[in-house]
Amino acid sequence: MDTKLKKSKAIVSLVSFFLSIGILIATAIFGISFLVNYDYAMQYIDDLYQEDYQETNAFRSELSRTLNYILRSMNAYSSTSTGAVWEGDDLASPYEDYIYYLSEDNNSFGLDNDTARNLLYQAGTSSDTDMYTNDTEHRNLYRGALPDGYNFRLIFDGKTVSIEKDGKTIDVYGDGFYRSNAGMWNVPGYENMASNSAYEDLRVCLVARKVPVEPVNGYSALYDITQRGAETLLFLRIWGCIVILSVILLVFAFLWRKERRELSRRIAARTAKMYFEWKFVFVILVIILTTGFTSSGIPSNVIFFLLSLPGYYVIAVDLRYNRGSWRHNVINTMLHRHAKHRSELEQKLPLERRLLERWDDFMKCEAVTFGIGLFLSIITVGLLAPITIALMVYFAYRYGKQHRQLAQDLGRLTTQITAVQQGGNTAPLLLPQDSDLREAAHSLNDIEQGISTAVEERVKSERMKVELITNVSHDIKTPLTSIISYVDLLEQEDGLPDHVKDYIKILDEKSLRLKNMIQDIFDVSKAASGNMDLQMEPLDLGKLVRQTLADMDEAIVSSQLLFRVDIPEQPVTITADGRRLYRVFQNLVTNALRYSLEGTRVFVTLTEETGAACVTLKNISRYELDPTVDITERFVRGDSARSTVGSGLGLSIAKSFTEACGGEFSVQIDADLFTARVQFPLS
Amino acid sequence: MNEGSILVVDDDHEIVRSIAIHLEREGYSVLCAYNGLEALDTVMSQQVGLIIIDVMMPKMDGLSAIMKIREKRNLPIIVLSAKSEDTDKILGLSMGADDYVTKPFNPMELVARVRSQLRRYTSLGDIHAQQGNHMIVNGRLSYNTEEHSLAADGEPVKLTATETKIIDLLMRNIGRIFPAEEIYRRVWNEPAFSAENTVMVHIRRIREKIELNPKEPEYLKVVWGIGYKIEKK
């Protein structure tokens, strides 16, 4: 209900707005034209209040015009031929109209058309004064009494004009000077507008009816003058009413302007969807509607103007509410739709195909533009060639721009890949939304994220492990200290039975083994987590192996094994932490001593390969080795019984220390042949 | 002993007791404390000749106690710690400790270290004064270049002729690393043959005579992959 009222209010407001504005504008135009032609307009208004039509300016100008036409017509006759008949074809064009003026054949124009004979005329030369006339009774109008009903006579005597009305002579010339805007008789004979010398022999008499009657079949200018005044007055009154009405409507329009604005907005919302091209056509149509029919006269002009007003209104509303609406045009929409469709399609296509298709499209665009452009250029004699070239350059520019963007993105992507590969902590790569490589960059970011998270987790867990092992080993060391100390005290006790001494010896051995194990666990966890302090220095690997063997000479000699050592005399220089590397070989030799089959040989060889020094230690295992088990894993031992001495960390320590020093450690099992290999790059 | 008692500080009573027993058997009088504050009190109130102190203890840890004690007294301090890292050792020694023993330790080694520290604090000064010109002193070791005699903690060390030659070479060049071949050439005066083994045998024997713990030598060290040296103390 409310909305309905609102809507009707809005429509009323809009319609009244149109009407009032239209009327006011029309009035304003009239007013302006009135002011522009002020003098004539004033004459026109004077005429409205004249009782006697013969006193009006319109009458005066009508008679003046008629006289002039007659004079010119007769002059034209006389100048072409002396006879009564003339050949129309021979006549000079400027006089054509005036000849028709007196022609009896012509019904549409001229005095003969006045069937009511409101204006009688006689014209001729001084010798034949009534050569032409429309008075059927052939009286002499120049002199004497006027016919019944007629009271006005105008006589041209070749030089001046004299007028007689109701028997009284009227002063035609006044002070003898003609002023065009004073409502004067526009006839020859003024001092500043002397009669044409060619008219000297011509005589004209015009007689007007006191009260013009309506012509039966035709047109009478004088009758028209009598009627015109009343019509004009009526028109002006009606117009005045309309203006007042329009002001009232304007008030309504003003009162309900809110609703109207709402409606305008709604109209604007509608027009916003229109393409700019259609709007343009609409504007042109409106302008044509306004101006195209100007020739049809003032009233129709006003109507067309009023009709075109809503058009202007819509245009104004559109301009006001839809800023930049020119962008919403057909070409742009097509391009945009195409681009959107493209990008959607491209998102789905693999990169390679996408790039190839883009190249294809570019070539197609160039080819089509070139073809059409060439055709049009030929048609327009080269006028459109610059546009074609510009278009082609534009396409090339667009393609180049895309390509450059791609190259830049690719560069950034590869840089990022290198950074990720080197493990640097890099910021995630952000490419623009429409970049071809966005997805790849996204994946790379994910990978990097995953790697860094994994590395972080690993470092964290390793650190926690080391911390745990450190704490545990410290906690174990304290009670172990007591055990060792008291075992030592026990050993010093005298007078103990032999079997007790045996027990004590076992306690002593096992507590020491526990001590070594704890240290080994600590070392291996530290090395594996990469938290070990290293003192890297250049050293001779051969010498180190020889020193290790010499250091363990006693154990080697006392074993049932034969060591076959093949180490070159010349130094084999590598860079490593000597103390750690000693532990590596110590563990390997201990391992060989511990697990080798009695009476077999242990081969220790140092070989120099290309850029690397390699120590191999081969021995025959006493136990059958399981080749599926990685023996270098922590706590893994060749014998699963774990009955023998050792922490089970020997090879694990060897491996982690070697790797911490920058070498490679590997173990190979071939049946019972156990081969440990330590390799370092030469320096 | 007249130089005072040995103060043993550890929060583990059993460890303190066992150390005390070992030391008392060697004839030392022993005082006990179970945290840093007690240790400080004891040092202030009693005649203390040497301190054996644990690092991780309640109330006041060992390193803080050492710093406090060092402000007041000049006496040998041996640190006992479960921490076996090099960095821990360096930290302990730089705080003013004279020796660093890691747990679990061999009681006999600890007793030997106590003896060594006490000797050095009481008698070493005399050696310096007596024969300054001919003496090369490095930590516990002192070598008389004229008499070709080596002493550890002031006690003469009996060395064989070859061992003396090796010691002579190394002590005259403390800190310098000698490859086995060079030692062999200069000691035996013949071209090196199987030098590494021969030299190593002698080194090991010397170590047993001069080192407190021959398995973890402090003075006569192997520089792995390079040679041998006497560590500068």
pLDDT tens-digit series, residues A145-181: 788 888 888 888 888 888 888 878 888 787 778 777 6
Give the pLDDT of residue A83: 39
Strand-pair partners of B220 = B230
What is the pTM assigned to this prediction? 0.53
Q: Is the per-residue pLDDT at A320 higher than 60?
A: yes
Distances (CA, A) of A229 to A52, A66, A236, A297: 11, 21, 11, 19
Cβ-defined contact of B56 to A474 (cutoff 8 Å): yes
Partner-chain residue, chosen from B18, B86, B180, that has the shortest CB–CB distance to A482: B18
Nearest-Cα residue of chain A relative to residue B199: A550
Cβ-defined contact of A543 to B225 (cutoff 8 Å): yes
**What Rg, from alpha-carbon coordinates, does chain B have?**
20
Nearest to A466 by CA among A530, A552, A394: A530
Distance from CA of B85 to the nearest CA of A (A): 9
Cβ-defined contact of B18 to A553 (cutoff 8 Å): no
Distance from CA of A638 to the nearest CA of B (A): 28
Q: What is the DSSP letter of A493?
A: -
- Same topology for domains A437-531 and A535-681, yes or no? no
Cβ-defined contact of B107 to A539 (cutoff 8 Å): no
Nearest-Cα residue of chain A relative to residue B222: A547
pLDDT tens-digit series, residues A6-22: 777 777 777 777 778 77
Q: The dihedral of CA B179, B180, B186, B187: what is its sign?
A: positive
Give the pLDDT of residue B21: 92
Q: Which candidate in A494, A543, A584, A586 is best for mutational testing of the B interface (most B CBs within 10 A)?
A: A543
CB-count exposure of residue A324 (10 Å: 0-12, 13-18, 19+): exposed
Cβ-defined contact of A484 to B224 (cutoff 8 Å): no
* A148 phi and psi angles, rounded to 5 deg: -60, 135
Q: Is the per-residue pLDDT at A539 higher than 80?
A: yes
- Return the number of CB contacts < 8 Å for A and B: 101
Residue A615 — very low, low, confident or very high, per pLDDT cuts 50/70/90?
very high
Q: Which candidate in B224, B228, B231 is best for mutational testing of the A interface (most A CBs within 10 A)?
A: B224
Residue A87 — very low, low, confident or very high, per pLDDT cuts 50/70/90?
very low
Tell me the average pLDDT across A573-601: 90
* B202 phi and psi angles, rounded to 5 deg: -65, -40
Q: Is the per-residue pLDDT at A559 higher than 80?
A: yes
Greater pLDDT, A287 or A478: A478
Give the pLDDT of residue B79: 93
Cβ-defined contact of A547 to B103 (cutoff 8 Å): no
Domain covering A535-681 in this structure, CATH number: 3.30.565.10
Distance from CA of B199 to the nearest CA of A (A): 9
Cβ-defined contact of B19 to A485 (cutoff 8 Å): yes
Nearest-Cα residue of chain A relative to residue B82: A474
Distance of CA A59 to the CA centre of its chain: 69
The residues on B that touch A, with CB distances below 8 Å, are 12, 14-15, 18-19, 21-22, 25, 56, 82-87, 103-108, 179-180, 196-197, 199-201, 204, 222-227
What CATH architecture does domain A437-531 belong to? Answer: Orthogonal Bundle (1.10)
Residue A301 — very low, low, confident or very high, per pLDDT cuts 50/70/90?
low
Contact A423, A455 (CB under 8 A): yes
Contact B170, B178 (CB under 8 A): yes
Contact B77, B97 (CB under 8 A): yes
Distance from CA of A553 to the nearest CA of B (A): 8
Distance from CA of B224 to the nearest CA of A (A): 5
Q: The dihedral of CA A575, A580, A582, A587: what is its sign?
A: negative
The residues on A that touch B, with CB distances below 8 Å, are 473-474, 477-478, 480-486, 488-489, 492, 511, 515, 519, 522, 533, 539-541, 543-544, 546-551, 553, 576, 578-579, 581-582
CA distance B100 to B116: 13
Of A86-100, A220-234, A637-651, B141-155, minimum mean pLDDT range: A86-100
Cβ-defined contact of B18 to A581 (cutoff 8 Å): no
- Contacts by A652-655 with C-beta closer than 8 Å and gap 24+? A652/A524, A653/A520, A653/A523, A653/A524, A653/A527, A653/A583, A653/A584, A653/A587, A654/A583, A654/A584, A654/A587, A654/A588, A654/A591, A654/A678
Q: Is the per-residue pLDDT at A642 higher than 60?
A: no
Of A198-207, A338-347, A425-434, B113-122, minimum mean pLDDT range: A338-347
* A286 phi and psi angles, rounded to 5 deg: -65, -45
Cβ-defined contact of A489 to B12 (cutoff 8 Å): no
Cβ-defined contact of A473 to B105 (cutoff 8 Å): no
Distance from CA of B138 to the nearest CA of A (A): 23
Give the pLDDT of residue A545: 92
Show Cβ contacts of residue A522 under 8 Å, excluding neighbours closer than 6 positions.
A469, A470, A473, B84
Nearest-Cα residue of chain B relative to residue A481: B104
Of A248-252, A371-375, A633-637, B178-182, minimum mean pLDDT range: A633-637
Nearest-Cα residue of chain A relative to residue B10: A478
CA distance B92 to A674: 43
The angle formed by the CA atoms of residues B18, B216 and B53, to the nearest 5 degrees, is 35
Helix (H) or strand (E) holding A265: helix A257-272
| Structure-derived torsion over alpha carbons of residues A54, A58, A61, A65, reported in degrees to the nearest 10 | -100
Q: Residue B77 is encoded by which pair of tokens?
A: 């301090």
Distance from CA of B32 to the nearest CA of A (A): 16
10-residue stretch averages of pLDDT, chain B, 233 residues long? 78 91 91 90 89 88 88 89 85 88 89 87 60 78 87 87 91 90 88 83 91 87 90 84
Residue A144 — very low, low, confident or very high, per pLDDT cuts 50/70/90?
confident
Tell me the average pLDDT across A314-320: 80
Cβ-defined contact of B103 to A482 (cutoff 8 Å): no
Tell me the average pLDDT across A656-682: 89
What is the three-class DSSP state of A143?
coil
Highest-scoring range by mean pLDDT, A398-407, A408-417, A503-512, B130-139: A503-512
pLDDT tens-digit series, residues A181-197: 667 787 887 877 777 77
Give the pLDDT of residue B92: 87
Partner-chain residue, chosen from A477, A485, A539, that has the shortest CB–CB distance to B107: A485
Q: Which candidate in A471, A480, A481 is best for mutational testing of the B interface (most B CBs within 10 A)?
A: A481
Q: Is the per-residue pLDDT at A79 higher than 60?
A: no
Domains, chain B, ordered by start = 5-123 (3.40.50.2300), 131-230 (1.10.10.10)
Greater pLDDT, A309 or A534: A534
Highest-scoring range by mean pLDDT, A130-134, A285-289, A340-344, B199-203: B199-203
Q: Residue A54 is encoded by which pair of tokens?
A: 């013969």
Using a CB-CB cut-off of 8 Å, the residues of chain B touching A515 are 104
Distance from CA of B203 to the nearest CA of A (A): 9
Cβ-defined contact of A474 to B223 (cutoff 8 Å): no
Residue boundaries of the structural domains of chain A:
2-36+231-324, 86-219, 332-418, 437-531, 535-681
Residue A72 — very low, low, confident or very high, per pLDDT cuts 50/70/90?
confident
Give the pLDDT of residue A88: 39
Using a CB-CB cut-off of 8 Å, the residues of chain B touching A477 are 82, 103-104
Of A203-207, A272-276, A589-593, B176-180, minimum mean pLDDT range: A272-276
Cβ-defined contact of B105 to A481 (cutoff 8 Å): yes
Contact A428, A446 (CB under 8 A): no
Partner-chain residue, chosen from A478, A485, A539, that has the shortest CB–CB distance to B225: A539
Give the pLDDT of residue A91: 37
Distances (CA, A) of A593 to A556, A599, A646, A675, A678: 7, 11, 12, 14, 18
CA distance B105 to B108: 9
Share of chain A above pLDDT 70, in %: 85
Using a CB-CB cut-off of 8 Å, the residues of chain A touching B103 are 477-478, 480-481
Give the pLDDT of residue A89: 39
Distance of CA B55 to the CA centre of its chain: 19
Using a CB-CB cut-off of 8 Å, the residues of chain A touching B15 are 478, 481-482, 485
Cβ-defined contact of B15 to A481 (cutoff 8 Å): yes
Cβ-defined contact of A488 to B22 (cutoff 8 Å): yes
CA distance A65 to A62: 5
Distance from CA of A493 to the nearest CA of B (A): 12
* A268 phi and psi angles, rounded to 5 deg: -60, -40
Nearest-Cα residue of chain B relative to residue A515: B104
pLDDT tens-digit series, residues A18-60: 778 777 777 787 778 777 777 777 777 777 777 778 888 888 8
Residue A589 — very low, low, confident or very high, per pLDDT cuts 50/70/90?
very high
* A644 phi and psi angles, rounded to 5 deg: -85, 175
Give the pLDDT of residue A631: 72
Partner-chain residue, chosen from B21, B82, B199, that has the shortest CB–CB distance to A477: B82
Greater pLDDT, A313 or A483: A483
Q: Is the per-residue pLDDT at A522 higher than 90?
A: no
Nearest to A483 by CA among A457, A506, A454, A449: A506
Helix (H) or strand (E) holding B175: none
Using a CB-CB cut-off of 8 Å, the residues of chain B touching A484 are 104-107
Distance from CA of A675 to the nearest CA of B (A): 22
